Amino acid sequence: MPVTREQVIDFIYDEARMLDEGRYDEWLSLWLEDGHYWMPLDYKQTDPHLVTSLLYEDMFMLRLRVERLNGARTFSQKPKSRCHHVIQRPFIDEMREDRIVTNTSMHYVETRLDEQFLLALTAIHELAVVDGAIRIANKRVDILNSDAAFGNIQLLP
């Protein structure tokens, strides 16, 4: 049974909530095994491979990132960071049986100790429906000021 537009929009909201609540194992299970999380460095970057990106991570790297957050010697996460997404209703740019693409504006806040920063960003999700469930095939996050100099960005928008 094909999914509805409402289910797609709920999926995007649910994913943001998982990240905010640190439910990373659940979050990882949303991904298809060959998916990539891409955060370009340059405005309107088209190539993830031959120029630098902030992130272009396969499932191994995403698992490593999640696993590391819980490590006993993860010094930059003592104390832990927290994050908070405020998202605008997603646009559904494509809605086909084998491919769904959404475009979502967000304000992302991350905090640790006395520091807090805000990123304005756009998330583009490529979704697929597998056995009736929506899964993330790829996710691209464009930070509005991606070319600015940042300190640590430790969690995932």
Partner 1 sequence: MRTASEITALFTGPQVHRDVYTSPEVYRLEMTHLFANTWVFVGHESQTPKKGDYFTTQIGDQPVIQVRHSDGEIYVLFNRCPHKGTKIAIDREGNTGKFFRCPYHAWSFKTNGCLLAIPLKKGYEDTGFEDSESAKGMTPVGAVRNYRGFVFARLAPEGIGFEDYFGGSLSSIDNMVDRSPEGRLEIAGPPLRYMHKCNWKMLVENQTDTCHPMVAHESSAGTAVNIWKEMGNPEPRPPAMEIIAPFMSPYEFFEKMGIRTWPNGHGHTGVHHSIHSDYSAIPGYFESLCETYGEERAKAILDENRHNTVYFPNIMIKGPIQQLRNFIPLGPDKTLVESYIYRLVGAPDQLLARTAMYNRMINAPTSIVGHDDLEMYERAQEGLMSNGMEWVNVQRLRTGDEEFDQEAVENGTTERQMRNQFDAWVKFMTVSMEDA
Query: Which residues make up the interface to partner 1 (CB under 8 A)?
Result: 39, 41-42, 49-56, 58, 60-61, 63-65, 67-68, 71, 73-77, 147-154
90 preceded by a cis bond (ω within 30 of 0): no
Other Cβ atoms closer than 10 A to 75:
6
Please say which residue, 1 or 72, places its beta carbon nearer to partner 1.
72
Please say which residue, 11 or 24, places its beta carbon nearer to partner 1.
24
Instruction: Record the tokens describing residue 26, joined without a space.
Output: 């659940």
CB of 61 to partner 1, least distance (A): 5
Please say which residue, 51 or 133, places its beta carbon nearer to partner 1.
51
Let me know if 107 is exposed, middle or buried by CB neighbors in 10 A (0-12, 13-18, 19+).
Answer: middle
CB of 133 to partner 1, least distance (A): 24
Q: Alpha carbon 90 to chain centroid distance? A: 14
CB-CB contact of 79 with 72 (8 Å): no
CB-CB contact of 47 with 112 (8 Å): no
The CA distance from 82 to 21, in Å, is: 8
CB of 113 to partner 1, least distance (A): 10
CB of 102 to partner 1, least distance (A): 22
Please say which residue, 11 or 27, places its beta carbon nearer to partner 1.
27
CB of 5 to partner 1, least distance (A): 32
Please say which residue, 101 or 155, places its beta carbon nearer to partner 1.
155
